[in-house]
Amino acid sequence: MAKLPTPQEIYERVIRHVDNKTTDVGEGIWREPVENYQSMERFQAELKMMRRIPLPFCPSAALPEAGSYIARAAAGTPLLVVRGDDGVVRAFRNACRHRGMALKEGSGCAKSFVCPYHAWTYSLDGALKHIPGFEGFPSVDKESHGLVAVTAEEKSGIVFVTQEKPVSDGALECLPEIIKPEQKVFNSLEFVDEANWKLIGETSMEGYHIRALHNKSFYPYGYDNLNIIELYKRNALIVFPFNRIERLREKLPEDRNYAGRFTQVFQIFPHAHTSVLSNHTLFIILEPLTPTSTRWVVYQLTNEGEAATEESLEIARRDANFVQDTGLLEDRAAAKSIQDGISSEANEYFTFGKYEQVICNFHRSLDELIAQTN
């Protein structure tokens, strides 16, 4: 398994950048056609690719016990993902085998899945267990009418689903341990923005914009264009240090407490990322709805090593609210403004430079896999 840099390694790299007035940079630039943020043809190609790789669906902690389920669309396909009585996570197409109605919406916990239309009933492993008035369906074989499964697997504290024959292992090829078993989900929310999923995702992939866009929210606590970058094949880590990290200069390595000194954002290809903040962890999926609209699926978790006491959860909630109501709002507004501006035809393409190497890596990976899918 790939390894993340240790807090000590991050600290040493940050201090070198502070002293030298430098930052991690990439080797080249990337020009992305603006048409790729609004084209229906491109959008359909992206969804097609997403269905043929392991796609991040939720943190494992969102399915804490037998019967825990989440029902939502992934890459345009309604799915039902559940933890079975044996502890194994399974995923199914969310459609009854009788007349195709969705079995569940949202999330919850159930002992079985009963279709709300005619009460055909399925067990947590997808098997068809009961047909009311079974004598009226003499030719129906229960064993061949279970829910249609898609591949589900857990890795690094994340549930991935693969809907069709895979062309690649996507993020799994090089994925460090991201979410630890002891971390707990304390809140989840969803909302929709009128912007392409990639425009929104790009806001978390570089720190070049911090001073300008977040000059009153994040910048007073951080630096101007100073980041630590690590690429993990299609995935990437980007570290945003706080200026209070310099208070550790006079301490011996064994006496340094790195908690709250930097934010680590790990990009999970293609459309998810985790942000480890001072007092909570965010797991965000940017689910494409149309070429110009995106559903945010957000899970707020406790940090690694943090007991879920009422006091710690209250601190985590305050931290989450600050991020939600300041920097995140600014990122969302920026993405929507860019989407609106595309129609001005001022740009044929967007140019991403050496400070935006994570975005360059993302688009390069996206193009490669779309080409393989087609």
Model confidence pLDDT, tens digit, residues 229-259? 999 999 999 999 999 999 999 999 999 999 9
Element containing residue 16 per DSSP (H, E):
helix 7-20
Give the lowest-confidence range in 187-191, 219-223, 274-278, 320-324.
320-324
Same domain (yes/no): 26, 69: no
Mean pLDDT of 144-153: 97
Query: How confident is the model over 296-345, as pLDDT tens digits?
Result: 999 999 999 888 888 888 988 998 888 888 889 999 999 999 999 999 99
Same domain (yes/no): 157, 227: no
Mean pLDDT of 24-41: 97
- Cα angle 139, 140, 143 (rounded to 5 degrees) comes to 135
Q: Which two tokens stand for residue 244?
A: 């209070």
Average pLDDT, the chain: 96
Same domain (yes/no): 224, 149: no
CA-wise closest residue to 31 among 335, 336, 364, 358: 364
Q: Which two tokens stand for residue 160?
A: 């991935």
Same domain (yes/no): 223, 288: yes
Mean pLDDT of 112-118: 98
Q: Is the pLDDT of residue 123 over 80?
A: yes
Res. 2 pLDDT band, cuts 50 70 90 = confident
* Domain carrying residue 95: 55-165
> What is d(CA 79, CA 61) in angstroms, rounded to the nearest whole number?
18
Amino acid 90: pLDDT: 98
Please, which residues have CB within 8 angstroms of residue 321's CB and are 6 or more apart in sequence? none
Amino acid 233: pLDDT: 96
Amino acid 289: pLDDT: 98
Same domain (yes/no): 44, 146: no
Q: Is the pLDDT of residue 64 over 90?
A: yes
Amino acid 310: pLDDT: 86
Paired with 187 in beta bridges are: 300
Res. 29 pLDDT band, cuts 50 70 90 = very high
Mean pLDDT of 215-219: 92
Query: How confident is the model over 269-305, as pLDDT tens digits?
Result: 999 999 999 899 999 999 999 999 999 999 999 999 8
Mean pLDDT of 353-374: 96
Q: Give the number of other Cβ atoms within 10 Å of residue 161's Cβ.
A: 25
Res. 200 pLDDT band, cuts 50 70 90 = very high
End-of-domain residue from the set 116, 141, 165? 165
Same domain (yes/no): 150, 193: no
Same domain (yes/no): 323, 187: yes
End-of-domain residue from the set 135, 165, 195? 165
Report how many domains make up the chain.
Answer: 2
Contact 256, 270 (CB under 8 A): no
Residue whose token pair is 């994340």: 158
Mean pLDDT of 69-73: 98
Q: Alpha carbon of 227 to those of 25, 26, 218, 239, 263: distances in Å?
A: 9, 12, 14, 5, 10
Same domain (yes/no): 75, 124: yes
> What is d(CA 18, CA 12) in angstroms, rounded to the nearest whole number?
10
Amino acid 323: pLDDT: 86
Query: CATH number for the domain including 251?
Result: 3.90.380.10
Same domain (yes/no): 79, 42: no
Same domain (yes/no): 104, 181: no
Please compute, for residue 297, the number of CA atoms within 13 A of its CA located in the half-sphere on the CB side: 20
> What is d(CA 294, CA 313) in angstroms, rounded to the nearest whole number?
29
Same domain (yes/no): 150, 290: no
Same domain (yes/no): 67, 47: no
Mean pLDDT of 41-70: 98
Q: What is the pTM of this model?
A: 0.95
End-of-domain residue from the set 165, 184, 216? 165
Res. 224 pLDDT band, cuts 50 70 90 = very high
